[in-house]
């Protein structure tokens, strides 16, 4: 991660990344608390870590098992630095194994919520209730604590859910304090930062904006920048940042892929021109995308096709509007970590994103991705600081590949029509009921499942539509929303009665993890 010019010489929090999806989320939570954090790979040298003069060290979770041969491990000399250390999940298990404890595969994994009970006072849990809910995601467990480590909290399934070596100021947590579904997670991290590490709060998004604009100016020089703009929060904030940096040398391009929601192109172009004062260049490539996606069902193939075609479209657009050497994208960190695109050894691929893992290896542009280390709620804060309108900043997220990853049935115009109409009904009714801004995201999914129904005394054999509505803060974890039965009934009735080709509607009640928010 780039070090900001205003980075304090001392006092940052060093995060050792063992490949967890949540590593950057840990960094983000720490930045929210006003402390700068730096992420280092577990393969980083001891000298590199020592050179940062950190106030504390956090060891992340990861997809590996400490029981595997050649599992990730960092130089054990980190324990000699003399600063507080917090291990989370895999990081805790690694600490336990280093000091002679025993880690074993649990009889069953522990995923999702559980109740934590504090049994010993510690600075880490200072000011917290004796019992609260935490979020787990692990299969291994610390079965025997090392010498000089004490249990400070437990859950029903984990007798050593939290432990501490008070002599060495080393803490271990089996749960994830960084995710929003852990109650008091921010307080736990704040206790570690300020009560244990005595760190200073000196990081803010205002300085991020200043540094990003200056970095873009230095990188671009007098060249032109082409920007793929979708009307979503990410690309809009990216447009505002790049526009402040290079002015009229920014060329925003709206590509109609044929995979957009109902009336999307007209609505977004008008909104962006009014709010940002940008001239939006519309490029209709819908037939190209639909032709390439015909009969493609595999989600990874879809994303790769869309990523490659986007670049080809941008090459053509760049020729039409004048030579551009840079391509700006609204890539966020969740895109990167789900694509394992950050180069983190040991990170698991979940899915490619068209503007990360779906890009061809060779592209004719240099990339500008000023938001690549931010999460959605941070991006909205940046957008607010830049003066973007509320209506633009609080639109529900829409995936770059568009309806292609919400249409699990074959990609063809008839099925996209069904999905557009169903999705429009979902959004319309949720807005009417006053839920739109209370939830993170809501949408319809067209399933490749047909079932028998009866309509007007006649047998039907039509598609199934799934409704997805989730609440989240950052997109890294999410819970399904318990929408009122009356609202779900209204949505279901309208879809079945008004959308030709659908005779069944279901509601998705899975959380993330283990599911993802999007179906593909």
- 291 carries a ligand binding annotation: no
pTM of the full structure: 0.68
Q: Rounded to 5 degrees, what are φ and ψ at 124?
A: -65, -35
Distance CA(264)–CA(266), nearest Å, equals 6
pLDDT of residue 82: 92
Task: Return the SS3 of 144.
Answer: strand
Omega before residue 352 within 30° of 0, cis: no
Residue with tokens 């929601």: 261
How many helices (H) and strands (E) would you count in the chain? 14, 18
- Give me the torsion for CA of 288, 294, 298, 304, rounded to 10°: -10
The 3 state secondary structure assigned to 189-202 is: HHHHHHHHCCCCCC
DSSP 22: T
10 touches 159 (CB < 8 A): no
- 230 carries a ligand binding annotation: yes
- 235 carries a ligand binding annotation: yes
| 13-196 against 205-393: fold identical | yes
Active site positions, annotated? 89, 176, 178
- 53 carries a ligand binding annotation: no
Residue with tokens 């849990």: 125
Residue 111, both tokens: 């995923």
pLDDT along the chain (520 residues), means of 10: 43 90 86 88 90 94 88 93 95 96 75 88 96 84 93 92 96 93 95 96 85 94 88 88 93 89 85 81 91 88 88 78 84 64 44 47 82 83 90 85 92 94 97 95 96 82 96 84 97 96 96 90
Strands 170-173 and 85-88, by their bridges, are: parallel
The 3 state secondary structure assigned to 37-67 is: EEEEECCCCHHHHHHCCCCEEEECCCCCCCC
The correct answer on CATH 3.40.50.620 for the domain covering 205-393 is yes
pLDDT of residue 336: 65
Omega before residue 262 within 30° of 0, cis: no
- 137 carries a ligand binding annotation: no
pLDDT of residue 4: 41
Q: Where exactly are the structural domains of the chain?
A: 13-196, 205-393, 406-507
What is the CATH architecture of 406-507?
Answer: 2-Layer Sandwich (3.30)
pLDDT of residue 108: 59
13-196 CATH fold: Rossmann fold (3.40.50)
Distance CA(351)–CA(346), nearest Å, equals 15
List the one residue out of 390, 414, 388 whose CA is nearest residue 403.
414
Omega before residue 301 within 30° of 0, cis: no
487 touches 448 (CB < 8 A): no
Q: Residue 184 region, left (φ>0) first, then alpha (ψ -120 to 50), else beta?
A: left
């Amino acid at each position: 991660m780039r070090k900001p010019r205003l980075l304090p010489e001392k006092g940052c929090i060093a995060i050792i990344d063992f490949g967890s999806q949540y590593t950057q989320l840990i960094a983000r939570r720490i930045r929210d608390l006003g402390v700068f954090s730096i992420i280092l790979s577990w393969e980083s040298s001891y000298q590199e870590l020592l050179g940062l003069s950190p106030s504390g060290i956090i060891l992340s979770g990861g997809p590996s098992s400490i029981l595997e041969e050649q599992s990730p491990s960092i130089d054990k000399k980190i324990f000699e630095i003399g600063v507080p250390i917090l291990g989370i999940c895999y990081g805790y298990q690694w600490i336990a194994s280093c000091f002679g404890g025993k880690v074993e595969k649990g009889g069953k994994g522990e995923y999702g919520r559980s109740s934590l009970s504090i049994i010993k006072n510690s600075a880490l849990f200072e000011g917290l209730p004796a019992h609260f809910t935490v979020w787990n995601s692990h299969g291994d467990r610390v079965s025997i604590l090392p010498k000089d480590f004490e249990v400070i909290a437990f859950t029903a399934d984990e007798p050593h859910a939290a432990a501490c070596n008070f002599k060495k100021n080393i803490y271990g947590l089996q749960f994830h304090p960084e995710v929003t579904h852990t109650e008091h997670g921010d307080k736990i991290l704040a206790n570690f930062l300020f009560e244990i590490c005595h760190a200073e709060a000196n990081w803010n998004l205002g300085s991020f904006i200043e540094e990003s604009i200056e970095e873009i100016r230095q990188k671009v020089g007098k060249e032109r920048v082409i920007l793929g703009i979708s009307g979503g929060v990410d690309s809009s904030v990216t447009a505002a940042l790049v526009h402040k940096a290079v002015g009229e040398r920014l060329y925003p391009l709206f590509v109609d892929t044929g995979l957009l929601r109902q009336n999307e192109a007209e609505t977004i172009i008008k909104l962006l021109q009014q709010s940002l004062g940008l001239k939006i260049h519309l490029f209709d490539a819908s037939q190209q995308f639909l032709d390439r996606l015909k009969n493609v069902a595999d989600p990874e193939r879809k994303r790769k096709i869309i990523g490659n075609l986007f670049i080809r479209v941008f090459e053509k657009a760049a020729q039409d509007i004048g030579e551009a050497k840079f391509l700006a994208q609204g890539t966020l960190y969740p895109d990167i970590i789900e694509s394992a695109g950050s180069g983190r050894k040991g990170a698991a691929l979940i899915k490619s994103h068209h503007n990360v893992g779906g890009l061809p290896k060779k592209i004719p542009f240099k990339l500008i991705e000023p938001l690549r280390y931010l999460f959605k709620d941070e991006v909205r804060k940046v957008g607010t600081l830049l003066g973007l309108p509320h209506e633009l900043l609080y639109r529900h997220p829409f995936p770059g590949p568009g309806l292609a990853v919400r249409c699990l049935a074959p990609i063809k115009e008839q099925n996209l029509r069904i999905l557009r109409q169903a999705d429009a009904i979902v959004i319309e009714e949720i807005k009417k009921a006053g839920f739109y801004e209370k939830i993170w995201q809501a949408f319809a999914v067209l399933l490749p499942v047909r079932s028998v129904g009866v309509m007007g005394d006649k047998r039907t054999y039509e598609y199934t539509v799934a409704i997805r509505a989730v609440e989240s803060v950052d997109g890294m974890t999410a819970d399904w929303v318990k929408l009122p039965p009356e609202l779900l009934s209204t949505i279901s009735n309208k879809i079945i009665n008004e959308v030709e080709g659908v005779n069944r509607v279901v509601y998705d009640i899975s959380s993330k993890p283990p599911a993802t928010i999007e179906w593909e």
